[in-house]
Structure 1
Amino acid sequence: MNALDYFNTRLEATISPMDYLRCAEANPEEYFLMDVRNGPEHVRSVTIKDAAVIPQQELQERLHEIPKDKEIIVYCWDVWCNTAAKAAAFLLERGYKVKELTGGISAWKEMNFPVSDFSAKIHPSDRCGC
């Protein structure tokens, strides 16, 4: 694969936070944003605003919640996390149209884009106390 093929393939499989925000504002009915991060709820309490929360480890059981007629945008923690890539591959194998949000929630928060914080809704006994 030459450099041009690599970059074209990368652009085909990913979307930047800025591009996603612009596209979703223009055509919200075309996209389904999905937080696929695994881990305890208290560490996942901040999500991208209006994202569906379906952890990667629950995808098999929750496929019925994911629309086939929209482009699915998956995200995880950051550029170092491969959970979104695993989720994207799983969904692509099942016929979904999928892109990964580059940089995950870290890049989204760094750009001060809208988030939802559910930490107040988590019961104190659910916290690990770390």
Structure 2
Amino acid sequence: MNALEYFNARLEATISPMDYLKLASSEPDKYFLIDVRNGPDHVKTLTIKDAHIIPQQELQDRLNEIPKDKEIIVYCWDVWCNTAAKVASFLLERGYKVKELTGGIAAWKEMNFPVSDLTKNNNISDSCKC
């Protein structure tokens, strides 16, 4: 693979936070954003606004929640996390159109883009009642 093929493949497989925000704002019904992060709820209190939360470990059992007629955007923690890439591959094998959000939620938060605080929506329980 030469450099041009590499960069074209990368652009086909990923979407930047800026591009996603712009495209989803102009065509909100075209995209289905999924937070695929694994891990305990207390470390996942923030999610990208309007994201569907389907952790990678639950994906197999929740495929019926993911529409085939939309472009699926998946994200995980950061550039060092490959969970979103694993999910993208899994979904592509099943006929979905998928891209990975580059930089994950870390890049999204760094840019001060809209997030949802799940603790305020009572979607996360405080089991220690701290």
Q: TM-score, normalised by structure 2?
A: 0.95
CA distance in 2 between counterparts of 1:44 and 1:37 reads 8
Q: Choose from 98, 102, 125 the match for 1:123.
A: 125
Residues 9-24 of structure 1: pairs in structure 2 closer than 5 A? 9-24=9-24
Unaligned segments of structure 2, at least 5 residues: none
1:42: Cα distance to partner? 1.0
CA distance in 2 between counterparts of 1:124 and 1:7 reads 44
Unaligned segments of structure 1, at least 5 residues: none
CA distance in 2 between counterparts of 1:8 and 1:110 reads 26
Match of 2:105 in 1: 105
CA distance in 2 between counterparts of 1:14 and 1:123 reads 33
Please give the per-residue CA displacement for 1:29-72, whole angstroms capped at 9, x wherever unaligned.
Answer: 10000000000111111000000000011110000000000000
Q: Is the 8 A contact 1:72 1:96 kept in 2?
A: yes
Match of 1:52 in 2: 52
Q: Is the 8 A contact 1:45 1:117 kept in 2?
A: yes
Which consecutive segments of 4 or more residues in structure 1 shift more than 2 A? 119-124
Q: Is the 8 A contact 1:71 1:96 kept in 2?
A: yes
CA distance in 2 between counterparts of 1:98 and 1:126 reads 38
Alignment RMSD (CA, Å): 1.3
Q: 1:43 is aligned with what amino acid?
A: V
- Which one has the bigger helix percentage? 1
Task: Percent identity, please.
Answer: 77
